[in-house]
Amino acid sequence: MSTLDRPADQGLPPLSRWRAPRTWAPRALLPDALVPRALPLLVTVVITAVASPLVFVAVQAGQAGWAQAQRLLGRPLIATLLWHTLSLAAVVTVGAVALGFAAAYLVERTDLPARRFWTVMLAMPLAVPEFVHGYSWVSLFPQVQGYSGAVLVMTSSLYPLVFLPVAATLRRFDASAEEVARSLGRGRWTTLWRVTLPLTRPALAGGALLVSLYLLGEYGAFAMLRFTTFATAIFTEYQLGFDAASASLLTLVLCALALLLVTLDARAGRRGRLVRQGATARPGSPVPLGRAKVPALLAVTALASTALGVPLFALGYWLLRGSSTTLPPASILGAATTTLGYALTAAVVATAAAVPVALYSWRRRTRLAQAAERAAYLTRALPGIAVALSIVFFAVRYAQPLYQQPPLLVAGYVLLFFPLALTAVRASLAQVPPGVEEVARSLGTRPLGVLFRVTVPLIVPGLGAATAMVALTASTELTATLLLCPTGTQTLATQFWAYTTGLAYGAAAPYAALMVAMSVPPVILLTRRTLGPKRPSETP
């Protein structure tokens, strides 16, 4: 770069020098050569940090040694846990896929009355955290517990994770595939089975993966339903403080299960991609339900009232009943402020960390970019309890002064919600027209100038939305919060948990209600982003 770095005007004919003397500005303070190298470096640092929990868990588990590991893993407890976790995951996933697909089909492809209303109602159970679902059922119907209780509660709370992507696919895909099937002499049911269902396969696979990952990582709801899975066992082992090696071994098995699921999904989702999607697709006319209209309406009503009605009723009931026993509102306000403070700090850090990664993979598809994307995708699969435990181990071993301090909770949230922030930042970068950065450089602007004059102004609204979404989602996190919360700090989730475990359902209700209220905006945002602002058939 030595000779080429000189100002370019030297060899120019007099005319050109006269024409634009200062257009290409003098050298900036920061050497340009630094900038292209800074980004990959930053990406590497962020990805290493995000992927570190797995390493720490492995290191901790390694402390046990091979013989002890064999002994620990050979316990009958492990077999029970595996059976509980896997059979529940299988049953709930199948149930959620069936409910989610049926609901999405009714709402998107038939003439069900008030389809918009039902779309919102059927997606809303997502705004109720799983442990609040568990709380609602257990507090109203004490007989709901164990395996069957877990199936009921988890299926009704997790089916929207299938419903939303399938509805989005059904809304976007071109009607011609179904029409061609009909024109080839296939009936409505055959068409549904042989065309519509295969076309939604990637969405179904993605939704099923999310459901099963949630199930692997869930702690609060299962603890409440008195159903033992890997997550609850890990939590108990850790809290009883028997030995960290055992807990980390269990965590390692849990992580392995999660990664196995991701791999399975990558295989299943590959086939059946939509050829045409997006704006060019023409929506089909809704399938008339005819005499099935009333049963269909009854079905969606039953689903919505089970999944959304029960939690809302429980919250209302306990808010009214428990008002006499509730502590003064000041403590709720204090907990809410503390929660938001942690969540916002974590959201800002996570979004800031996501920007270089998203930017890098948006600009070019190098190996590092692909690796970064995959690593972020894999960390999404890590259960919250694994992330939290790995941070605890890290603090205990390498950063003792930080143990039980606020930065650890923030770090936990950042690691947990980094994938969410990355998705949101990537979505806002997708709005940036391709090529603007290059054009800006061809106009004589340095890479850093391009970043601050073009790229950042374009994604600022998206960054705001990403931060808000991460903050609100983190506010309702329970598992990692319980493990990482500094001693004496009260957040909404810890307070709720403290009251619930003491069976003070009335006192817990305001905290739960507040968390549900805080979850509504992110869920609306998610629904909007997944489905698009309105149905294509409604646009003129």
Token couple for 522: 């992110």
| 105-115 per-residue burial string, b: 16 or more CB within 10 A, e: under 16 | bbbbbbebeeb
Instruction: Give least dist CB 12 to other proteins, A.
Output: 7
Residues numbered 23-42 forming contacts with other proteins, rule: CB under 8 A = 23-25, 32
Among 98, 327, 436, 517, binds other proteins (CB under 8 A): 436
If one asks whether residue 435 binds other proteins (CB under 8 A), the answer comes out as: yes
Residue 438 within binding range of other proteins, rule CB under 8 A: yes
Ramachandran bin of 286, using left for φ above 0, alpha for ψ from -120 to 50, beta for the remaining angles:
beta
What residues have CB less than 8 Å from 169, skipping those under 6 apart?
Answer: 199, 200, 202, 203, 274
Q: Which C-beta is closer to other proteins: that of 81 or that of 440?
A: 440
| 27/270 with CB nearer other proteins | 27
Give the separation between CA 475 and CA 184, rounded to whole angstroms.
Answer: 53
Separation in Å, CA 52 to CA 368, 475, 502? 17, 23, 36
Q: Residue 451's CB: how many other CB atoms inside 10 A?
A: 18
| Contact present, 470 and 348 (Cβ < 8 Å) | no
| By the rule CB under 8 A, 19 interacts with other proteins | yes
CB of 4 to other proteins, least distance (A): 5
Report helix, strand or coil for 380: helix
Q: Do 418 and 354 touch, CB atoms closer than 8 A? A: yes
**Distances, alpha carbon 122 to alpha carbons 40, 100, 158, 285, 313, in Å:** 42, 9, 11, 22, 16
Query: Which of these segments, 198-206, 259-267, 433-441, 482-490, binds other proteins (CB under 8 A)?
Result: 433-441
Helix (H) or strand (E) holding 231: helix 230-240
> Which residues inside 449-508 make contact with other proteins, applying CB under 8 A?
453-454, 457-458
Q: Minimum CB separation from other proteins for residue 431, in Å?
A: 8
- What minimum distance in Å lies between the beta carbon of 365 and other proteins? 10
From 63-71, 83-91, 224-232, 442-450, give the range in contact with other proteins by CB under 8 A.
442-450
Nearer to other proteins, 1 or 279 (CB): 1
Binding flag, residue 280, other proteins (CB under 8 A):
no
| Binding of residue 327 to other proteins (CB under 8 A) | no
Query: Does 364 contact other proteins by CB under 8 A?
Result: no
Residues between 111 and 140 that touch other proteins (CB under 8 A):
none
Number of residues that bind other proteins (CB under 8 A): 37
Q: What is the DSSP string of 492-503?
A: HHHHHHHHHHTT
Residue 441 binds other proteins (CB under 8 A): yes
Helix, strand or coil, per DSSP, at residue 319: helix
The window from 67-75, 108-116, 447-455, 510-518 that contacts other proteins (CB under 8 A) reads: 447-455
Q: How far is the CB of 425 from other proteins (least distance, A)?
A: 17
Indicate which single residue of 442, 487, 488, 533 sits in contact with other proteins (rule: CB under 8 A): 442
**């602007």: which residue's tokens?**
445
Stretch that binds other proteins, among 7-15, 205-213, 292-300, 390-398 (CB under 8 A): 7-15
CA distance to 9, 29, 384, 399, per residue, from 3 (Å): 13, 19, 53, 48
CB of 461 to other proteins, least distance (A): 10
- What tokens appear for 483 in the block? 């493990």
Residue 242 makes contact with other proteins by CB under 8 A = no
The yes or no reply on residue 260 touching other proteins (CB under 8 A) is no
Contacting range for other proteins; rule: CB under 8 A; set: 51-59, 426-434, 466-474, 523-531: 426-434
Considering only 113, 146, 329, 444, the residue that binds other proteins (CB under 8 A) is 444
First-to-last alpha carbon distance for the chain, in angstroms, is: 56
- 530 in Cβ contact with 168 (< 8 Å): yes
DSSP states along 49-100: HHHHHHHHHHHHHHTT-HHHHHHHHTSHHHHHHHHHHHHHHHHHHHHHHHHH
Query: For other proteins, which residue of 34, 120, 327, 439 counts as binding (CB under 8 A)?
Result: 439
| Alpha carbon distance 176, 461 (integer Å) | 37
Is residue 434 a contact residue for other proteins (CB under 8 A)? yes
Report if residue 185 touches other proteins, rule: CB under 8 A: no
Q: Which residues contact other proteins by CB under 8 A?
A: 1-5, 7-8, 11-13, 16, 19-20, 22-25, 32, 432-436, 438-447, 453-454, 457-458
